[in-house]
Amino acid sequence: MPRIFIFGLGYTAGRIGAALAVRGWDVVSTGRDGTLRFDDAGTVRLALADAGHVLSSVPPDGAGGDPVLETYGDALAGKTLIYLSSTGVYGDTKGAWTDESAPIGTGRRTARAEADAAWLARGARVLRLPGIYGPGRSALDRVREGKAHRIDLADQVFSRVHVDDIVSGALAALEAPAGAFNLADDLPAGQNAVIEEACRLLGQPVPPLQTMDEANLSPMARGFYAENRRVANGKAKRVLGWTPRYPTYVEGLGACRAGLSAMTRPIIASTAPPAASGDQR
């Protein structure tokens, strides 16, 4: 049974781990939903010794260092490494298309760019991810909670990716050569268009256009709107053989909406006779 050690089992890495478990992998992990404590060094090192693959979704710490490399870097030699990075390493490109040949470290995420480079130097498959959305974490949820905003920035555009497309990209990366890969959908778009589509799917009114001051955005949210780029995914398609199941936010939000409908659908009692005692379907 192949084993993968996942550092930082959260929303995205958790779905990757679940997909691997279904395929027969032994998954050991740290993080919010993990099986081990990150600081239990003895146990972590024993588990790492038996793992042929390692995936990290742990971001840089407050001091700017990478906690995984700083604590367990010496135990990663000879393993297949995958690191979940961010397309924020490219900085602001004024809306221009950006691929993996672009320089990194010019934006607000200097620490992330340094971690990205450090994992690349170790021969990792570095998956650079834009805005991540999916079930329970999408524009639909913000609209339902009354937290959606439309900001009056006509030229603002960015890329995004459905979490299930990250999963398929990570699975493909297990057999891929080392290097950086952008996992993004095919249609960069402004956040306003995404919010408007979510409102349409939910039958909710579209929120008014506001300035950032009027919307009372957090510093983190303001930083998001300060950068403007389109992320190219051609290398992932060519090298990984990856194709997004949700090529645009329209299909992705539609799938999330279908999931909401399934969760709220009333249960209809069956009129069929009970199964025989030996039927364990």
CATH code of 229's domain: 3.40.50.720
What's residue 269's pLDDT?
A: 31
Ordered per-residue pLDDT tens for the chain, 281 residues: 899 999 999 999 999 999 999 999 999 999 989 999 999 999 999 999 999 999 999 999 877 799 999 999 999 999 999 999 999 999 999 999 999 999 998 777 789 999 999 999 999 999 999 999 999 999 999 999 999 999 999 888 999 999 999 999 999 999 999 999 999 999 999 999 999 999 999 999 999 999 999 998 888 888 888 899 999 999 999 999 999 999 999 999 999 999 886 654 433 332 222 222 232 22
Angle at 178 between CA 176 and CA 181, to 5 degrees: 80
Residue 153 lies in a domain: yes
Residue 21 lies in a domain: no
Residue 11 lies in a domain: no
What's residue 273's pLDDT?
A: 28
Residue 268 lies in a domain: no
Domain interval for residue 110 = 79-263
Cα distance between residue 53 and residue 3, in whole Å: 7
User: For residue 107, is it left (φ>0), alpha (ψ between -120 and 50) or beta?
Assistant: beta
Q: Which pairs count as long-range contacts for 194-197, CB under 8 Å and 24+ apart, including other chains?
A: 194/139, 194/160, 194/249, 194/253, 195/139, 195/142, 195/143, 195/148, 195/149, 195/150, 196/150, 197/139, 197/249, 197/250, 197/253
Cα distance between residue 2 and residue 244, in whole Å: 26
Residue 50 lies in a domain: no
What's residue 262's pLDDT?
A: 64
Q: Give all strands (DSSP E) within the chain, no chain letters.
A: 3-7, 26-29, 53-56, 80-86, 97-98, 125-129, 131-133, 150-151, 160-162, 179-182, 209-210, 230-231
Residue 83 lies in a domain: yes
Residue 200 lies in a domain: yes
Residue 38 lies in a domain: no
Number of domains in the chain: 1
